[in-house]
Amino acid sequence: MLDRVLFLKSLAAAFATAVTPAPVPTATPRPWDQCLENPALPYDRPLGLKMRVLDGPDFDLQKYRGSPTILHIFATWCEPCAVEMPFVVALSQKYAAQGLKIVGIDADESDNAVRAYRKKFDIPFPIAMDRDGLFTRALENNRSSTWSIPVSLYITPAGYLYCYTEGSSKNPGNELTYRVEKFLKESSS
């Protein structure tokens, strides 16, 4: 529980201090650098988070140290999440050999609803269950605007928040691929 509290406090600090990058000109061929970054966040240690996993061993972010990791927050009722999920699944498989780990986090739904969703999209990665919704609501409450899922939190191999994205995109396949490749490249340097 303490790790979860520290993670939420660290994430709250990230949202409070995150710098929004300058808008990318529309003529740029890859306008997907909206990933909100702040590599100099004042963490005194890597982030920690523990949750129950649907039909699997509990999720502990500390066990993912050494691997670039994406925490992908979704809900089964969310249309943009359903549009994006096949691309997230494909990326988890395509970049597994490069060490990328993806963990889904369901936003406060029943096990059976999430099982059906996992089967529908053939999701190979673990799905942590935010059963009480505390994690998702804590993220939302630290924003001045309305939270928009899906949300992806990019966690470096050292366990620090690299950046986060929220909301749907018009071109999820290309956008997600671009962001993951950039994340993997910068995480390995």
The string of pLDDT tens digits covering residues 134-183 is 888 777 665 555 667 898 889 989 888 888 888 877 788 888 998 899 89
Tokens linked to 120: 């529908």
Tokens linked to 148: 């928009």
**Predicted pLDDT at 133:** 80
d(CA 76, CA 125): 16
- Is residue 69 within 8 A of residue 104, CB to CB? The reply is no
**Predicted pLDDT at 20:** 36
**Predicted pLDDT at 30:** 41
The per-residue DSSP string of 11-55 comes to: HHHHHHHPBPPPPPPTTSS------EE-TT---SS----EEEETT
**Predicted pLDDT at 121:** 98
List of the chain residues with pLDDT < 50: 1-2, 12, 14-31, 37-44
Coil, strand or helix: which one is 89? helix
pTM: 0.79
**Predicted pLDDT at 147:** 64
